[in-house]
Amino acid sequence: MSTPKYKLTYFDYMWLAEPIRLLLSYVKEDFEDVRVDWDEWEKPDGKIDKSPYPYGKLPVLEDAENGLKLGQSFTILRYLGRKYNLVGATDAEAAKCDEYADVLKDILKEMELMWEKDEKTTLEMKTKWLEKTIPRYYSVIESDLKKNGGKYLVGNGITWVDFLCAQMNQLFTAYPKVDVLANYPTIREHQQQVFEIPEVKAWIDKRPDNYDGW
Ligand SMILES: N[C@@H](CCC(=O)N[C@@H](CS)C(=O)NCC(=O)O)C(=O)O
């Protein structure tokens, strides 16, 4: 058996690494899917040496072809996007991919504020996130996507941001336990289409099914 070209190190859940796993599956690249134990990582006197990982954060992608070790999930997606021609056909399309990705990051950052808060605070934050944050961004994406035919966020072909958007929607649903796409049928349809791409579906069918879907 040949050694995989890529090694992707993350924790044993989907969160920031799953869009990368989807993209690597789509381009049919075998990758070493290394999953670090979160509880061990968190221990102050833990046995995990974090020094090999840039900034002491995960995910990290290693590319055996050129020795690159890369942190930051969106940077990794963009890098792979460029390598496999999944960044749009023009500079303008590449910029739209970046814009949607930054939007998803803004939504993610606000969702992450709910992490480990007491019940009352979580509920208040969740309500604000659902009633203000989501409509602010998703009304635009819904309308743009519809105008573009519904299949791809940008241009006439799949880009790295399609994988990111589909998976972030799973996260935005599973972590706060809400149907975040209730008012956005085009975005929901887009997510289903991405998850049904045969190479992506093959990964989804075999991946570990853990952490309540996030
Ligand atoms: N902006 C970074 C965030 C990376 C990040 O915060 N990763 C978390 C897990 S989701 C982590 O490594 N936490 C462990 C730590 O901070 O020690 C990215 O997109 O990759």
**Helix, strand, coil distribution of the chain in percent, nearest 5:** 55, 10, 35
Mean per-residue pLDDT for 149-168?
98
Domain ranges within the chain, ordered by starting residue = 6-85+199-213, 91-197
Atom of ligand 1 nearest to the CA of 76: 20
- pLDDT, position 3: 86
- pLDDT, position 212: 78
CA of 111 to the centre of ligand 1 (A): 14
Mean per-residue pLDDT for 178-204?
98
Asked if residues 61 and 8 have their Cβ atoms less than 8 Å apart, the reply is yes
Token reading at 155: 């241009």
3-state secondary structure of 213: helix
Mean per-residue pLDDT for 185-196?
98
From 8, 134, 154, select the one nearest 71 (Cα to Cα): 8
User: Tens digits of per-residue pLDDT, 51-66?
Assistant: 999 999 999 999 999 9
Q: Is the pLDDT of residue 153 over 80?
A: yes
User: Tens digits of per-residue pLDDT, 1-51?
Assistant: 678 999 999 999 999 999 999 999 999 999 999 999 999 999 988 789 999
Ligand 1: residue of 16, 38, 79, 107 to mutate (most ligand atoms within 8 A of CB) is 16
Assess whether the C-beta atom of 171 lies below 6 angstroms from ligand 1. Answer: no
Pick the CATH number of 6-85+199-213 from 3.40.50.1360, 3.40.1190.20, 3.40.50.300, 3.40.30.10: 3.40.30.10
CA of 55 to the centre of ligand 1 (A): 9
Same fold, 6-85+199-213 and 91-197: no
> What letter represents residue 194's amino acid?
V
Rounded (10°) CA dihedral 192, 196, 202, 204: 0
The domain defined by 91-197 folds into: Glutathione S-transferase Yfyf (Class Pi); Chain A, domain 2 (1.20.1050)
Distance CA 81, CA 39 (A): 32
